[in-house]
A and B are shown apart, each in its own frame.
Chain A
């Protein structure tokens, strides 16, 4: 996995629980204890009410492609060597959108509404990046 040339996350205290869970192959979203809103991307406050009382909660890791693009030209590190690739917004069953890649699917078969499930790209010891593939 030492040859993973794509960008890596800069993990901070705020996001560490999310990335620790990814390393265990678990996708987390957040739920606000004050107002009940589920949110993604994770952050230190609830995006709906700004309560700091947000809890980590596992996502089933299933959803559908909300939209996507098959990229044929890019300067993005790592990706420019693997053209074409699929960048997508996925709508999870929990109701929130997640940006990711659709992998291990022929780009020509990707469509809006395609059922997908999370899969983890084990980049190095202790770091796995959530991506999605056909469910």
Chain B
């Protein structure tokens, strides 16, 4: 069954370091996204956000906003959460559980000094005693996948660096991006090694930030301010340690990508641009392979030669991505915001020409032990 939902409004909180609280960021983003949709507070009847406070999920923000939603979802599966929320919102809308779903995110990682990538990765559960004892960090877990990819397929640090270079080029066209000065492959390789083979410039930035999305029933199309973006397909998956027998080079995207594309009745060739979660350069390389843009093992060649930059065959992360624009810890919401703006033709200097179909893929958790993947296929109206 094709999903029956429209993305009617989006907003990205513009600041990269802010004095505002995470709740305030979400409130301002919610208001702006609803305004973008031509809707208001009274229209919201579904609420989706992550569990920033352990165990109680959306309760504080729904209280703060003084809302009374009929449908509530606090799915928290890492950075892909907000991409999965769109999938969940579409299902709730199709079932008649709500008509106007509001998805929000707010984080003050930078101003509160959280070292997102290099802090000790402790989950507080049973699994810690088999992993966290060994100095696991987010970057280390991704670095292990990069090392294995290099071993199996001869992928090079230069090829990974191509991803950071293309993304920075896009960031230079985004006035909101944290880092806008162009970089070269040499710069990436000369940046400090964090967890080999990943250098500093293979890693996403740390910022404050947030945003909001408004997903609505197709019946509301006439009431919206702008031509809505159509959700053509969506899917999610989880990849994990599998009892100790895991091919760590195959990510959850290998499951969710083909299912989302099949639902849309499209193939990777139909995709005009893609927003690919870029916690690290290796995340992008593995994801592009698993989504079917190239064969497994050929990601290194695929990302080279300008193919993924604006003007190339498959422009990705045109906002400058997590590598250069913003990454407050869970970046999925920005993937959707940028894809929607591209499909509406609102991206100015960084606009992808004749953008008809956008693919969004969020990765949450870590490729090197367990992670979620959520894919959306979006089409312009």
Is the CB–CB distance between B133 and A48 below 8 Å?
no
Stretch at the interface among B47-55, B124-132, B164-172: B124-132
Provide the residues of chain B in CB contact with A78, threshold 8 Å: 135
User: Complex formed: what's the CA distance from A100 to B131 in Å?
Assistant: 7
Is the CB–CB distance between B144 and A73 below 8 Å?
no
Provide the residues of chain A in CB contact with B31, threshold 8 Å: none
A72 to chain B, nearest CB (A): 5
Is the CB–CB distance between A67 and B140 below 8 Å?
no
Does B96 belong to the interface (CB within 8 Å)?
Answer: no
Is the CB–CB distance between B115 and A75 below 8 Å?
yes
Q: For B244, give the chain A residue with the smallest CB separation.
A: A96
Is the CB–CB distance between B119 and A96 below 8 Å?
no
Provide the residues of chain A in CB contact with B193, threshold 8 Å: 70, 72
User: Complex formed: what's the CA distance from A67 to B126 in Å?
Assistant: 23
Q: How large is the interface on B (under 10, 10 to 19, 20 to 34, 35 or more residues)?
A: 35 or more
Does A133 belong to the interface (CB within 8 Å)?
Answer: no
Q: Which DSSP category, helix, strand, loop or mixed, fits chain A's interface?
A: loop
User: Complex formed: what's the CA distance from A14 to B130 in Å?
Assistant: 13
Does B120 belong to the interface (CB within 8 Å)?
Answer: yes
Inter-chain CB contacts under 8 Å: number: 133
User: Complex formed: what's the CA distance from A29 to B129 in Å?
Assistant: 14
With beta carbons under 8 angstroms apart, the residue of B128, B135, B196 that contacts A10 is B128
A112 to chain B, nearest CB (A): 4
With beta carbons under 8 angstroms apart, the residue of A39, A72, A87 that contacts B134 is A87
Provide the residues of chain B in CB contact with A41, threshold 8 Å: 127, 130, 241, 244
Using known A-B contacts A75-B120, A87-B144, A99-B130, determine if residue A69 contacts B246 with beta carbons closer than 8 Å.
no
Provide the residues of chain A in CB contact with B242, threshold 8 Å: 47
> Which chain A residues in 64-96 approach chain B with CB under 8 Å?
66-79, 85, 87-89, 95-96
> How many of A's residues come within 8 Å of B, CB to CB?
48
With beta carbons under 8 angstroms apart, the residue of B132, B136, B139, B245 that contacts A96 is B245
User: Complex formed: what's the CA distance from A100 to B369 in Å?
Assistant: 12
Is the CB–CB distance between A97 and B241 below 8 Å?
yes
Does B118 belong to the interface (CB within 8 Å)?
Answer: yes
Provide the residues of chain A in CB contact with B369, threshold 8 Å: 99
B143 to chain A, nearest CB (A): 4
With beta carbons under 8 angstroms apart, the residue of A14, A69, A74, A95 that contacts B144 is A69
Does A135 belong to the interface (CB within 8 Å)?
Answer: no
Provide the residues of chain B in CB contact with A19, threshold 8 Å: 129
Is the CB–CB distance between B243 and A39 below 8 Å?
yes
Does A51 belong to the interface (CB within 8 Å)?
Answer: no
A120 to chain B, nearest CB (A): 13
Does A15 belong to the interface (CB within 8 Å)?
Answer: yes
Provide the residues of chain B in CB contact with A15, threshold 8 Å: 126, 129
Does A60 belong to the interface (CB within 8 Å)?
Answer: no
Using known A-B contacts A7-B128, A47-B243, determine if residue A85 contacts B135 with beta carbons closer than 8 Å.
yes
User: Complex formed: what's the CA distance from A48 to B245 in Å?
Assistant: 11
Is the CB–CB distance between A67 and B137 below 8 Å?
no
Provide the residues of chain B in CB contact with A88, threshold 8 Å: 144
Q: For B119, give the chain A residue with the smallest CB separation.
A: A75
Does A129 belong to the interface (CB within 8 Å)?
Answer: yes
With beta carbons under 8 angstroms apart, the residue of A40, A76, A97, A100 that contacts B137 is A76
User: Complex formed: what's the CA distance from A8 to B132 in Å?
Assistant: 9
User: Complex formed: what's the CA distance from A68 to B197 in Å?
Assistant: 10
> Which chain B residues in 205-248 approach chain A with CB under 8 Å?
241-246, 248
B205 to chain A, nearest CB (A): 15
Is the CB–CB distance between A72 and B136 below 8 Å?
no
0/1 interface trace, chain A 33-48, chain B, CB 8 Å (1 if under): 0000111110100011
Does B148 belong to the interface (CB within 8 Å)?
Answer: yes
Is the CB–CB distance between B245 and A10 below 8 Å?
no
What are 5 pairs between A and B in contact, CB < 8 Å?
A: A69-B197, A71-B135, A71-B137, A75-B118, A98-B244
Residues of A within 8 A of B (CB): 6-12, 14-15, 19, 29, 37-41, 43, 47-48, 66-79, 85, 87-89, 95-101, 112-113, 129, 131
Known: A74-B195, A101-B134. 20 other contacts (CB 8 A): A7-B120, A8-B133, A19-B129, A41-B130, A41-B241, A41-B244, A48-B243, A67-B147, A69-B140, A69-B143, A71-B137, A71-B140, A72-B195, A75-B118, A76-B120, A76-B136, A87-B134, A96-B243, A98-B130, A101-B135
